[in-house]
Structure 1
Amino acid sequence: MTAIEAAAFGPDAKSVEVPVLDSFLHHVEQGSGAPIVFLHGSPTSSYLYRHVFPKLTGKGRLLAPDLIGFGDSGRPDIAYELADHERYLDAWFEALDLRDVTLVLQDYGAAFGVSWAARHPDRVRAVLLAEPVIRDIESAALPAAFVGAQQLIRTPGAGEKFVVEENGFLTQVFPGAFLQPLADEDLAVYQAPFPTPESRAHLIRFPRNLPIDGVPASSVEFLARSEQWLKTSADVPKTLLTYEPGFLLTPTIEAWIRANVANIEVHAGGAAVHFVQEEEPQKLADAVLELIERAGK
């Protein structure tokens, strides 16, 4: 079942399947020139960026992949841990031989995009962060309802019942993370790849791996591997967008980014909770254009 129509991104956009490892990654692509790669997180897909692409027409080769197991990408029999997503995304970058890349990163897309940049510093042009998974998150700064849902999801048995059997993450948690409700037809696109409990089994991995109050340690360690590059990559311009009210970008994490990330500029991204591509696509596109101009290549 195809969930994502390339036409939603613009008349010249196309869907592409790239063989990677034992499976494939699907991406939507438009234009030519220096690549601009847009990475999503949990529990979404490239569809998040459909309103951003038309605002960047002619500014580069726009590519928005679906992470493995999401959107229209393959569903190999893997554990879907962070390292698994990293392996498949690495293979996608290699298959397309992407260089001089501007990375536009949100949610777990930031974890994977920054990791790729840290390990391929000669191939990165610029980095934009929006509501990123980039540091351990203090639960005291998160909404109580979300913390409660996280506790439920992390409880063996109860978490599987909520996320996998009852589809609660896609029908309750996800739709609640917007200032204005998503249109039914758009919500249906995000939910379409996961019609059965079997198809939803791996959806529990991302919320269980979200680093909150130091747990799980494996996720904290995954993110920490990229810190040195963030602190020392002064040749790579970076932008952090902040949102009102925002969600994952807590005051503590924003302060850490301001104090530690080299060549960072912080700009207001507008009114949004977490899925900012849906709520502030114009300001996101404007920030990408400003970042490319700063990169000056």
Structure 2
Amino acid sequence: MTQTSRSIPLSAFGPDARSVDTEVLDSHIHHIEHGDGDPIVFLHGSPTSSYLWRHVFTRLTGRGRLIVPDLIGFGDSGRPDIAYELDDHIRYLDAWFDALELDNVTLVVQDYGAAFGVSWAARHSDRVKAVLLAEPVIRDIASADLPEPFVQAQQLIRTPGDGEKFVVEDNLFLTQVLPGAFLTPPAQEDLDVYLAPFPTAESRGHLIKFPRNLPIDGNPASSVDFLERSVDWLKTSNAVPKLLLTFEPGFLLTPEILAWATQNIAALEVRAAGAGVHFVQEEQPQAIADGVLDLLARAEGAK
């Protein structure tokens, strides 16, 4: 399946990067890739796209088969008529991993990309080489550990009617919440790339699902359950090296979740990676790229 118009500039990923559409289920997932060898798969979260990984991607060219997809409904991937719940994303990602026949995968994941990447790893443990986590969605978050303006925005978004107006009609999740999760708001030309796939209220309808599904104080229970399904693998996957990067001040990786990860995730190294809020790929790409290289060295050494 081809797509003639692109929202993501391929040039941002280097001169030899390729743009690929892969048919999955009733739609397609778009990805950008470069190189060959064992795959290094980068997964983004809400409400971004593959573009978020461009600076990490270009720092790793020549180090493997770099592959960065857009989640279904995001970036240049398709927009099937689905509910866009967490399990819907998993269905399409599972089909994409299978269509590309990806094995010996190093996962580099952030935000919901972490929830989905860990879920895939837990169910395909024989296909995973290593995992790097940055600002991940991996556990229920206590509202007391989150910035009060964000908690207030979450309450608004979860209110029927008010949430639709905030996210879908007035586009404030993209234009206010997104820029606020950087140390320095992104340049307008970069923000425009993140905004480009969602020019109308109709195109933004599904964007409300990710913030409403963020597990805060045990709600929604379905998201807590989704994350809980992967905990046994996280605790027992001693053969899969993992690296968790921390940032200051950070955002989703609260002290409570960091403590849980340190106590419960097998083969985990925790490393401070410098200043950053949530979209740390824009803020600390070199630290993330260095982390990937060190993780690959650990994986090779463990063989």
Equivalent position to 2:294, from 286, 290, 293? 290
Amino acid at match of 2:239: D
TM-score scaled by length of structure 2: 0.97
Q: Post-superposition shift, 1:50?
A: 0.7
Measured against aligned partners, the alpha-carbon deviations of 1:219-276 in whole angstroms (never above 9, x if no partner) come to 0000000000000000000000000000000000000000000000000111100000
TM-score scaled by length of structure 1: 0.99
For residues 157 and 128 of structure 1, the distance between their equivalents in structure 2, rounded to whole angstroms, comes to: 37
- Equivalent residue, structure 2, for 1:185: 189
Measured against aligned partners, the alpha-carbon deviations of 1:79-118 in whole angstroms (never above 9, x if no partner) come to 0000000000000000000000000010000000000000
Kept in 2: contact 1:70–1:193 (CA 8 A): yes
- Equivalent residue, structure 1, for 2:255: 251
1:52 alignment partner, SS class: helix
- Equivalent residue, structure 1, for 2:242: 238
- Equivalent residue, structure 2, for 1:36: 40
For residues 103 and 55 of structure 1, the distance between their equivalents in structure 2, rounded to whole angstroms, comes to: 16
Kept in 2: contact 1:7–1:14 (CA 8 A): no
**Structure 2 residues without counterparts, runs of 5 or longer:** none
Alignment pair present for 1:266 and 2:274: no
Equivalent position to 2:83, from 79, 85, 89? 79
- Equivalent residue, structure 2, for 1:46: 50
Equivalent position to 2:132, from 121, 128, 132? 128
For residues 250 and 218 of structure 1, the distance between their equivalents in structure 2, rounded to whole angstroms, comes to: 21
1:4 alignment partner, SS class: coil
Measured against aligned partners, the alpha-carbon deviations of 1:48-84 in whole angstroms (never above 9, x if no partner) come to 1111112111110000000000000000000000000
Amino acid at match of 1:96: L
**Matched positions, count:** 297
For residues 146 and 113 of structure 2, the distance between their equivalents in structure 1, rounded to whole angstroms, comes to: 20
Q: Post-superposition shift, 1:8?
A: 0.6
Kept in 2: contact 1:103–1:113 (CA 8 A): yes
1:248 alignment partner, SS class: coil
Equivalent position to 1:22, from 4, 20, 26? 26
For residues 290 and 16 of structure 2, the distance between their equivalents in structure 1, rounded to whole angstroms, comes to: 21
Equivalent position to 2:202, from 183, 190, 198? 198
Equivalent position to 1:140, from 129, 141, 144? 144
- Equivalent residue, structure 1, for 2:171: 167
Amino acid at match of 2:271: H
1:253 alignment partner, SS class: helix
Equivalent position to 2:222, from 211, 218, 223? 218
Amino acid at match of 2:176: Q
For residues 260 and 190 of structure 1, the distance between their equivalents in structure 2, rounded to whole angstroms, comes to: 35
Amino acid at match of 1:92: W
Q: Post-superposition shift, 1:5?
A: 1.6
Q: Post-superposition shift, 1:6?
A: 1.5
Measured against aligned partners, the alpha-carbon deviations of 1:189-244 in whole angstroms (never above 9, x if no partner) come to 00000000000000000000000000000000000000000000000000000000
List aligned pairs for 1:87-98, cutoff 5 A.
87-98=91-102
1:76 alignment partner, SS class: coil
Measured against aligned partners, the alpha-carbon deviations of 1:139-161 in whole angstroms (never above 9, x if no partner) come to 00000000000000000000000
For residues 157 and 90 of structure 2, the distance between their equivalents in structure 1, rounded to whole angstroms, comes to: 23
For residues 216 and 247 of structure 2, the distance between their equivalents in structure 1, rounded to whole angstroms, comes to: 20
Equivalent position to 1:5, from 9, 15, 18? 9
For residues 101 and 6 of structure 2, the distance between their equivalents in structure 1, rounded to whole angstroms, comes to: 26
Equivalent position to 2:159, from 155, 160, 170? 155
For residues 100 and 110 of structure 1, the distance between their equivalents in structure 2, rounded to whole angstroms, comes to: 17
1:176 alignment partner, SS class: helix
1:11 alignment partner, SS class: coil
How much is the aligned-residue C-alpha RMSD, in angstroms?
0.6
Measured against aligned partners, the alpha-carbon deviations of 1:112-171 in whole angstroms (never above 9, x if no partner) come to 000000000000000000000000000000000000000000000000000000001000
1:51 alignment partner, SS class: helix
